[in-house]
Amino acid sequence: MVREGSLRRSTHRVVSLLLLSSVVSLTTLTLSWSAASASERAPHTQSSGGPITIGSSVFPVTLDPTANPSAAIDEVIDYNVLQHLVELAPNGSLQPTLATSWTLSKNRRIYTFKIRHGVHFSNGDPLTAADVTFSMDRVIKSGSTYPYAKIFDVKSVKTLSSDTVQVTLDSPSWEWLFNLASYSNGVVLDPRTVSTLGTDPVGTGPYAVSGEVQNYSVSLNVNPRYWGPKPRTSGVTFRYFSSPNAENAALESGQLNLIDNLGNPSSLASFEHNRSYQIISGLTNGKVQLTLNNSYGPLRKTLVRQAISYAIDRQAIIDVASGGRGLPLGSDSVPADPYYLNLAHVYTYNPTKAKLLLRKAGYPHGFALSLTLPPYPYAQLAAPLIVSELSAVGIHVSVQNIPFPLWLSRVFEAGNFQTTIIDHAEARDISNYGTNGYYWHYAGTATVAALLRSANAAPTQAQWIAGYRKVLRLITKQAVNDWLYVLPEITIAQASVTGLPRFGYTESFNLAYLGIGGSVPAAAKKLGFA
């Protein structure tokens, strides 16, 4: 998935592999997980408060996450309105949600889920095992519109009883449960409401959609039928701003309670030393990259793509586009990944070497290249420097700015572009390099797909990680794209706001514990809520 605007949190240092804990341990061949019932979960200590208004940058093109890969949809709808059997806490750990427990067969292909009792959709319909089966069947059926149906890897789904669902995978996978929690493939739907998903998604989460003003706001009310602890607010409104300066001014004037992602990191200074505000930042799963159409003319050649990687100074890009906040990248992997490799050193800034590689590739005088840009600060700020650096080695770049809906249709869906700058927000998205027809037209997808299948079939986590690292080294050597940096997301809120997610390992801006004042349960703090 591509993330508009910005990504969930980053930091300056490499951290431990936090998400290793989210991979189910294979100490035995039969796995199981169980969870406390809703009544055993830590309750909120405060009653519901008043409404909260959140500033954001990109209005969702639809409210249906099963029809569009835009992360602006997940930010509002995922986890807050539509829920999964299992979900990721802000700290990256897998948490039972609509499933209370599951087991995995000895051959690691059959998951059996127990569905939580007493859950209702916001319209009053009870959640049943049949609803779960319907939702998964909808992903795998012919003609599915799910953006990530190709990575679902499910052979069949069966309702075994009123509270039991059995899922048979195409092949063993170390990633499947994580993917179920992370992607829109995992949302559980009310079959009676799928026709209105784009405007009125009905789910089992703590909130329900109450209104939408085109290009201006999306409002959520507290779901009175929510099975878990009630949120500490009477409702939430996402307000959308095309100008980061206008968004900042709205926060300073009290029109907003918080900004979930500071549009221009250079404006951070106006909030840093003001006790009226708090600043929260952390790691994200996002990768800002110069995406290269591997099927276009000169970009077909590995030497040319390598030359581009050598021609661009990642730290300079971070300084200009992200206020110096960010982690240089060298491949499709961030520190939160269990298989993370720091490969930023592979293509250190070296214009002389870039020119040499271009001569070897048959382009001693360079060539012309177009850069298609979405309208987001990180792309707009990085572009002039990238244009300048590529020009210095003979690659003459023309820039075309287009709105994001057109970027989605032309670039992401049709693959009609030469280069673009985009933030890939999804976690563990290395499978994109093994997906035939993906928008950058990589010629090695079959090789990568085979390596990923082999790694997922491995009997141990260590072998799985080793297999994925082999893929990272391969796509880095072939310079499929020029990975630039982990984009920081910076949340700025009034000092009184509590319960904000402290990490960015999900694309949902999880509002389960949001409130003004009061305290957040200790259990929620351990999950990564501030």
pLDDT digits (tens, 9 = 90+) for 124-150: 999 999 999 999 999 999 989 999 898
As a whole number of Å, the CA-based R_g of the chain is 23
What digits encode the pLDDT tens for the residues 396-421? 999 999 999 999 999 999 999 999 99
Q: Kindly provide the residue ranges of all beta strands, DSSP E only, lying in 205-268, ordered along the sequence.
A: 207-213, 217-222, 235-240, 258-259
Same domain for 195 and 317, yes or no, is no
Q: Indicate whether 448 and 515 sit together in one domain.
A: no
Distance CA 204, CA 99 (A): 12
For residue 245, being part of any structural domain is answered with no
Same domain, yes or no, for 164 and 17?
A: yes
User: Is 374 in the same domain as 506?
Assistant: no
Q: How far is Cα 271 from Cα 277, in angstroms, rounded to an integer?
A: 7
Q: Letter for the amino acid at 124? A: G
* Host domain of residue 517: 2-203+488-526
Angle, vertex CA 87, rays to CA 411 and CA 140, nearest 5: 55
Percentage of the chain beyond pLDDT 70 is 90
> Same domain, yes or no, for 411 and 511?
no
Q: Are residues 495 and 359 in the same domain?
A: no
Q: Is residue 305 part of a domain?
A: yes
pLDDT of residue 325 exceeding 90: no
Instruction: Centre a 10 Å sphere on the Cβ of residue 96 and count the other Cβ atoms it contains.
Output: 18
Distance CA 113, CA 104 (A): 9
CA neighbor of 51 nearest in space, from 205, 204, 238, 215: 238
Give the pLDDT confidence score for residue 281 in this predicted structure: 80
Question: CATH number for the domain including 315?
Answer: 3.10.105.10
Predicted local distance difference test score (pLDDT) of residue 523 = 93
Q: How many domains does the chain have?
A: 2
**Residue 376's pLDDT is what?**
85
In a domain, 261, yes or no: no
DSSP 8-class letter at 44: P
On whether both 499 and 413 belong to a single domain, the answer is no
- What confidence category does residue 351 fall into, taking pLDDT thresholds of 50, 70 and 90? very high
Q: Is residue 275 part of a domain?
A: no
pLDDT in tens, 256-274: 999 998 867 767 888 888 9
> Which pLDDT belongs to residue 42?
38
Instruction: Evaluate whether residue 238 is within a structural domain.
Output: no
Tell me the pLDDT tens digit for each residue of 44-76: 334 447 899 999 988 999 999 999 988 899 999
| Residues 56 and 165 reside in one and the same domain | yes
Instruction: Give residue 62's pLDDT.
Output: 96
**Looking at residue 426, what is its pLDDT?**
80
* Residue 265 placed within a domain: no
Summarize the confidence of residues 237-244 as an average pLDDT.
93
Residues 372 and 515 both lie in one domain: no
**Considering the domain boundaries, does residue 152 fall inside one?**
yes
Per-residue pLDDT for 23 more than 80?
no
Domain match, 125 and 111 both: yes
Using DSSP bridges, classify how beta strands 235-240 and 287-292 pair: parallel, antiparallel or unpaired.
unpaired
Residues 496 and 478 in one domain: no
Residues 382 and 498 in one domain: no
For all residues of the chain together, what is the average pLDDT? 89
Confidence of residue 512 (pLDDT cuts 50, 70, 90): very high
